Structure 1
């Protein structure tokens, strides 16, 4: 059995959001953190993901959206656990040279430096050609750094409710693909 852990972005997804629809349709899917939503601090989200990964010995597929993708990359840089694969949907771009303000709150209240190292599990990065937070070239750089397969979603905005994504059949097919053992 493969568990599905949903790793939300920075805010609380609306009930129409594809992640909420997946959770509603699949009661065995779990949120990491639960309940999803603000405030987003990277350290707290990484700790919540680590707790969810360690909650059971079965391998998990991580399904992350937006800032949740950064949570996955930060978790993988610091922890290990039974992860089969990850679906990383439209991670926001954070300049690799960015450093938190030393006079600001921890993690500067949001991200912290984003690891640009290979993920130790199979992953697919979903890239949009019209995302307001990340250019396609920046998605390509993330995919290369994380050794993720790049999935071109075309004109998909940020793959969220405002971009027309309630149901997302292509995402469900990608999750099903990642649930399968590698060939």
Structure 2
């Protein structure tokens, strides 16, 4: 296979932000600015997320995507990806997904889970039908280490603890977060 053929098969990335979207300093937004293969999935209401609406928006984005894709999900975007895979996606849609980087999975039963978000519990406990990596912070106020480890185990995901980084968002000071781009690249290379 020559180089152009290899690049044609490199999966595009669907970016799945969480509650209230990802702002200018967020690693997801920075990744989109660095690479045109990254496309943000637009949710119907960033401030009042509803599981069904978010999963249907993801389903439409997957349907519209060409070739293989990977997810770069943060927070509520992680739950959206897991719920979509277990309850909404067709076999054909799932066949397009090569992997998912799932960062800062929030616990819907946690005290800090947004009250404006509805329908995201219970969290699916089935193995995801694609490769995945769950990345957690040891001091995430929205989802602790035991919760993220339980999700990773249930989903068949590799689990990575990045230490005390809060909710792994723009406040975490990660910049372009090259380390995580490497993890995402490993998922993209597996196709």
Q: TM-score range by the shorter chain?
A: 0.7 to 0.9
Q: Tell me the CA shift for residue 165 of structure 1.
A: 2.8
Q: TM-score, normalised by structure 2?
A: 0.83
**Aligned-residue offset at 1:166:** 2.9
Structure 2: runs of 5 or more not aligned: 1-8, 111-115
What corresponds to 2:130 in structure 1?
Answer: 121
RMSD: 2.1
SS at 1:93 equivalent: coil
Q: Deviations over 1:54-88 (max 9, x none)?
A: 11341110110001000001100121311000000
Q: CA deviation at 1:35?
A: 8.2
CA distance in 1, matches of 2:131, 2:35: 23
Q: Does 1:71 align with 2:85?
A: no
Higher helix share: 2
1:152 paired residue number: 161
Q: Matched residue of 2:52: which SS?
A: helix
Distance 2:127 2:158 in 1: 12
Q: Specify which of 57, 78, 103 is matched with residue 89 of structure 1.
A: 103
Matched, 1:22 2:31: yes
Q: Secondary structure at the match of 1:30?
A: strand
The separation in 2 between residues aligned to 1:151 and 1:139, in whole angstroms, is 9
So what's the TM-score if we normalise by structure 1?
0.86
Mapped to 2, the partners of 1:160 and 1:92 lie a distance apart of 13
Unaligned runs of 5+ residues in structure 1 are: 97-106
Gap change, CA 1:154 and 1:111, over 3 Å in 2: same
Q: Aligned pair count?
A: 172
